[in-house]
Amino acid sequence: MPDYKLPDTIYTDDRLPNPGELRNYRKDYSSARIYNFYDAAVADQLCSDGMIPYFANSFLIECGLDFSDMVFAKYNRIRNEDYQIATIIRKVDGAEIVQKEALTSKAQKHIFRMSSNVNPFLNVQNLKGSMQGTKYVTDYVQGQDLDASLYPYRNDKEALVQKIREILQNHFVPDEGCLIDFTMTDDYRCIFGEQYISGAKCLEATNVDMILSNLRITEEGCVFCIDNEWVFEFPIPYEYVLWRSLSNLYYKYMVYLKNKMTRNQFLREFHLDENNFQVYSNMDLHFYRYSIGSDYTEKYRKSAMTYNLRFV
């Protein structure tokens, strides 16, 4: 477990974290901390070298004759009650499956909604799942998450940007015939606020959580969206999805990029309109309040001090 005081994820030897997956800045719950090195870079190297089992913060040990079939578990307890769910990977009859289950009675509706969500993007396969009782179950896709596939290019800005452009071209460019004009709806106001981009193009259904860690490529080169949790069937500016995915990627790789380019400079590499960035930030803030609300772990965080570090 990356953190033992307020854990939200349990890894096993069958499912270890990928480079870019462990980001624990300001998750200090025991004492104040001085940040005098880039722990994200260290964590990435440990993940890449397969050394996390030797350096994990804490361990959960099972003793007995019958052992759990669990391979991985993640609990989203910081969300609003309507969206608190667990994602659990299990081994069943030699094959791995993924279960999504509600952690509160209010979240059950969210689980049922996943069974009808379909990802609308180009060249991205949808996982076929089904409800098994109160749980939503899909097959587990073997492969590599697209964000982790970029790790070898982390120190080469030009190569990294080129690889990202290829991903966007192959998987994020919709058929122009599928695009519609933005129109304001009550659902949009409720989730994303009042601000919008005039004349923005949209899809009829949008997966706003198309971050690269939710896209997995198999050995055969087929890309699956492994999380269709946040699909909305009303107009949402399509460029917001790109902005959100690329912003998430920048912060994941910021330890390698911060001395080479700012986030906005990074986003401009992919021809996004900088005039729209503030609107997208406002949309994202409203979406955070809608899905998360108030992160209860913040009240347990200890103070932190940082040094201005630069790679040389």
Which domains does the chain carry? 9-139 (no CATH), 144-293 (3.90.1200)
pLDDT of residue 67: 63
The token pair that represents 213 in the structure block? 């860690």
Distance CA 94, CA 229 (A): 26
pTM here?
0.89
Name, in order, each residue with C-beta under 8 angstroms of 61's C-beta and a sequence gap of 6 or more.
none
Residues 255-297: pLDDT tens digits?
Answer: 999 999 999 999 999 999 999 999 999 999 999 999 998 777 7
3-state secondary structure 264-292: HHHHHCCCCCHHHHHHHHHHHHHHHHHHC
Residues 66-125: pLDDT tens digits?
Answer: 667 889 999 998 899 999 999 999 998 889 999 999 999 999 999 999 888 776 666 788
> What's the chain's average pLDDT?
88
Q: How confident is the model at residue 194 (pLDDT cuts 50, 70, 90)?
A: very high
Q: How confident is the model at residue 307 (pLDDT cuts 50, 70, 90)?
A: low
3-state secondary structure 198-258: CCCEECCCEECCCCHHHEEECCCCCEEECCCCCEECCCCEHHHHHHHHHHHHHHHCHHHHC
Please name which of 3, 138, 129 lies closest in space to residue 77, comparing C-alpha atoms.
3
pLDDT of residue 302: 72
